[in-house]
């Protein structure tokens, strides 16, 4: 997907995107660098409707059935889950 975005940008846009990718790759915990990369991608999608359609077609539609199976003692199954505790005498601390 990033490759498709890069190919659609003009020379300056490519340089800006490359710098944003490099910054985010150098320090993935740097929220500012990650946000700058997101902004570059967002700008590209807003400026190019064809690119938006192309990338949207690559994403799963989510329209298919979901099967979740849990098997075994204290097994947990969910499509989306945040916290699950299955042990005895568990202590939860905020």
Residue 20: the pLDDT is 95
Residue 79: the pLDDT is 79
Q: What is the DSSP string of the chain?
A: -HHHHHHHS-HHHHHHHHHHHHHHHH-TT-HHHHHHHHHHHHHHHHH-HHHHHHHHHHS--S-S-------STT----SS-S----STT-----
Per-residue pLDDT of the chain (94 residues), as tens digits, is 889 999 999 999 899 999 999 999 999 999 999 999 999 999 999 999 999 999 998 887 776 777 889 888 888 888 787 777 777 887 777 6
pTM over 0.85, yes/no: no
Residue 17: the pLDDT is 93
């Amino acid at each position: 997907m990033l490759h498709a975005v890069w190919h659609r940008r003009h020379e300056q846009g490519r340089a800006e995107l490359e710098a944003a990718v490099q910054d985010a790759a150098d320090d993935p915990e740097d929220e500012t660098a990650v946000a700058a990369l997101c902004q570059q991608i967002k700008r590209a999608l807003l400026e190019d409707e064809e690119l938006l359609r192309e990338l949207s077609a690559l994403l799963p539609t989510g329209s298919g059935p979901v099967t979740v199976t849990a098997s075994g003692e204290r097994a947990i199954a969910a499509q989306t889950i945040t916290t699950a505790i299955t042990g005895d005498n568990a202590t939860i601390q905020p």
